[in-house]
């Protein structure tokens, strides 16, 4: 697939092999893995970080094969997580960082001005999707002035 804001095609990524069940050597106790996910979520870890911790420290290569649902779904069932979806929150944090950079004496940095425009466009596109899905309220608007309040 081509990149949206570049003239090149982009690298093709590797795909995980299709597996129906977890390997024999892995931790396949669904209740224990769910409990670990909830515990790590309460500590404030993101779903990606939780997946890495499960893989590296608890011998769970794919939590979805063990539990039967995604890590974010387990967190949502237990009311753990922020008011905004994780991918949107990451983009908003990135936008705050760029705004801080531009505001701290780097107002002529045209490359990061462009990066801020692209990041804000991605946030707006994601917001449109999440409003359609019902995960954001229909009155939600992206406002650069209120961005720092949303992130913190």
Residue 47 falls inside a structural domain = yes
| Residue 20: inside a domain | no
47 CB burial (10 A radius; 0-12, 13-18, 19+): buried
* Residue 104: Cβ-neighbour burial (10 angstroms; 0-12, 13-18, 19+): exposed
3 falls within a domain = no
What single string gives the DSSP state of each residue in 84-110? S-HHHHHHHHHHHHHHHHHHTT-TT-H
**Nearest-angstrom CA–CA distance, 10 and 126:** 21
Give 91's contacts (C-beta < 8 A, 6+ positions apart). Answer: 119, 122, 123, 126
Predicted confidence at residue 60, as pLDDT, reads 92
Helices vs strands, H then E, count in the chain = 7, 0
Using the 3D structure, point to which of 13, 42, 77 is the last residue of a domain: 77
The domain of 126 spans 86-151
Whether 18 maps to a domain, the answer reads no
Average pLDDT across each block of 10 residues of the chain; the chain has 152 residues. List them in order: 68 77 86 94 92 93 91 91 87 95 94 95 95 92 89 78
Give the global pTM: 0.78
Q: In this structure, is residue 11 part of a structural domain?
A: no
Residue 1's pLDDT is 46
Instruction: For residue 7, give both structure tokens.
Output: 């003239």
Tell me whether residue 37 is in a domain.
Answer: yes
Name the DSSP letter for residue 12.
P
| pLDDT for the residue numbered 2 | 57
Q: What is the pLDDT of residue 82?
A: 78
**Count of domains in the chain?**
2
């Amino acid at each position: 697939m081509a990149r949206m804001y570049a003239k090149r095609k982009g690298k093709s990524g590797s795909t995980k092999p299709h597996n129906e069940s977890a390997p024999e050597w892995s931790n396949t106790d669904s209740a224990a893995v769910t409990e670990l996910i909830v515990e790590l979520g309460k500590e404030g870890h993101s779903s990606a970080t939780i997946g890495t911790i499960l893989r590296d420290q608890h011998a769970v290569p794919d939590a979805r094969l063990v539990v039967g649902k995604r890590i974010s779904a387990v967190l949502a069932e237990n009311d753990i997580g922020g008011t905004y979806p994780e991918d949107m929150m990451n983009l908003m944090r990135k936008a705050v960082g760029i705004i801080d950079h531009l505001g701290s004496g780097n107002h002529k940095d045209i490359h990061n001005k462009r990066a801020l425009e692209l990041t804000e466009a991605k946030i707006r596109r994601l917001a449109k999707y999440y409003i359609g899905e019902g995960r954001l309220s229909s009155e939600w608007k992206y406002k650069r002035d209120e961005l720092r309040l949303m992130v913190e």
